[in-house]
Amino acid sequence: MALVQIEGVYMNANVKTSTFDGKEKTSIMIDVYQPESTSNDRAIQIKADDLSLINTFQKEYAMGSIFKCSATVNAYKNNAYYKLVALKK
Range of the domain at 35: 2-88
**Residue (of 76, 75, 78, 77) closest to 4 by Cα position:** 75
Amino acid residing at 56? T
Q: Round the average pLDDT of the chain to a whole number and report it.
A: 95
What pLDDT band is residue 14 in, cutting at 50, 70 and 90? very high
**pLDDT tens string 18-57:** 999 999 999 999 999 999 988 888 999 999 999 999 999 9
Q: Is the per-residue pLDDT at 17 higher than 90? A: yes
Question: Which CATH number covers residue 26?
Answer: 2.40.50.140
Q: Is the per-residue pLDDT at 59 higher than 90? A: yes
Segment holding 53, helix H or strand E: helix 53-60
Q: Is the per-residue pLDDT at 89 higher than 90? A: no
Domain count, the chain: 1
Q: Is 88 within 8 Å of 69 (Cβ atoms)?
A: yes
Q: Is the per-residue pLDDT at 3 higher than 90? A: yes
